[in-house]
Chains A and B, each alone.
Chain A
Amino acid sequence: MILINISNKKIIVKKDFFIILAIVLTGIIVVSVSFIMKKTNHGKTAVISVDSEIIEKINLETHENNTFSIENIKGVVFEVNKGKIRIIESDCPDKICVKTDFINSKSEKIVCLPKKLIVEIED
């Protein structure tokens, strides 16, 4: 299958479909396995660390449902609700940490790269 030639290169050949399909299928299998693990792998402690140093451990079961911020971490607001934790507000540019939404499984993480912040779930 050749559309046109550019600098003697073909845009796409038949072989490409199989290579790309193989990579995508591998990815889908890994994602679906981790999705199943997510449902069964709940933890009840949130570990918040900055620059690979643990700042605070929060027990999600006993912690009251509210929003709070941590003194050493400026510009970030956390929220605990029904045993899950999320970052509800952050002053970082891309807001990837906020988009991650609630987590409560050991295979999930919230990462904020500009702040070097990681929230992980443990037992």
Chain B
Amino acid sequence: MKKSYKTALSGMLLALSAGLSAAESLIPLPLGVKPGFSNIPVMFAMYEVNTACALAICILKSFFVFLTRGTTAFIMSISGGLAAYFTMLLLSKKTNASIVLTSVAGSLMHNAGQLSAACFILGSSAVLAYMPVLIISGCIAGTATGLCLGAVMPVLTKIKRK
């Protein structure tokens, strides 16, 4: 893959990620639960472009959140995003875990990372009460995004040139 092509593709995936992140905030769900569709471009980049590109999308998407929703949301986004990124990196490169399983693990670690950040911001462990609900929602959301990625992958790989 040419370097210029890779740069352009990363930019498009970042735009897709930011767009999905903005769109999913319109879906009304209780307790601040989000489906996490912005993980689809990150996973695509991890599998089909390279891991550095996926990390860049993950961090820059958090800056987009900073611009649109402020500092607290940024800290939550980047802590969750990085926790998910490194979990998925480990699972996708070192094991032969399936895409859905990688996505579920990433989603659960995203929630765990966010809760840790929330504990840190609040200086209290009160938010840990949300953990059971976030585990269930993380499994459902992770399965959904994993299946979505599987469904859109044949389409997305068409735009990818060797």
Binding site for B on A (CB under 8 A): 3-4, 6-7, 9-13, 15-16, 19-20, 23-24, 26-28, 30-31, 34, 49, 51-52, 93-94, 96, 99-100, 107-109, 111, 113-114, 116, 118, 120
Closest to A109 in B: B126
- Residues on B with beta carbons closer than 8 Å to the beta carbon of A34: 129, 132
Any A CB within 8 A of the CB of B11: no
Q: How far is the CA of A24 from the CA of B136 in the complex (A)?
A: 5
Q: How far is the CA of A99 from the CA of B121 in the complex (A)?
A: 20
B10-40 CB contacts (< 8 Å) to partner A: 30-32
- Number of interface residues, chain B, beta carbon within 8 A: 43
- Residues on B with beta carbons closer than 8 Å to the beta carbon of A116: 121-123
Binding site for A on B (CB under 8 A): 30-32, 47-48, 69-70, 72-73, 76, 92, 96-102, 104, 108, 118, 121-124, 126-127, 129, 132-133, 135-136, 139-140, 142-143, 146-147, 149-150, 153-154, 157
B interface: dominant SS = helix
Q: A4-B150, A10-B99, A100-B31 are in contact. Are A31 and B123 (CB under 8 A)?
A: no
Which listed residue (A4, A49, A109) contacts B154, Cβ 8 A?
A: A4
- Residues on A with beta carbons closer than 8 Å to the beta carbon of B146: 11-12
- CB of B124 within 8 A of CB of A118, answer yes
- CB of A6 within 8 A of CB of B153, answer yes
In whole Å, how far is B153's beta carbon from the nearest beta carbon of chain A? 5
Q: How far is the CA of A5 from the CA of B38 in the complex (A)?
A: 22
Can you list 9 residue pairs at the A/B interface with Cβ under 8 Å?
A9-B47, A19-B104, A27-B139, A34-B132, A51-B122, A93-B70, A108-B129, A109-B127, A113-B72
Closest to B153 in A: A6
Give 4 nearest A-B pairs by CB, closest first: A11-B150, A30-B132, A27-B136, A52-B123
- Residues on B with beta carbons closer than 8 Å to the beta carbon of A15: 101
In whole Å, how far is A50's beta carbon from the nearest beta carbon of chain B? 10
Q: How far is the CA of A13 from the CA of B143 in the complex (A)?
A: 12
Q: Which of B30, B32, B157 has the most CB of A within 10 A?
A: B32
- CB of A99 within 8 A of CB of B31, answer yes
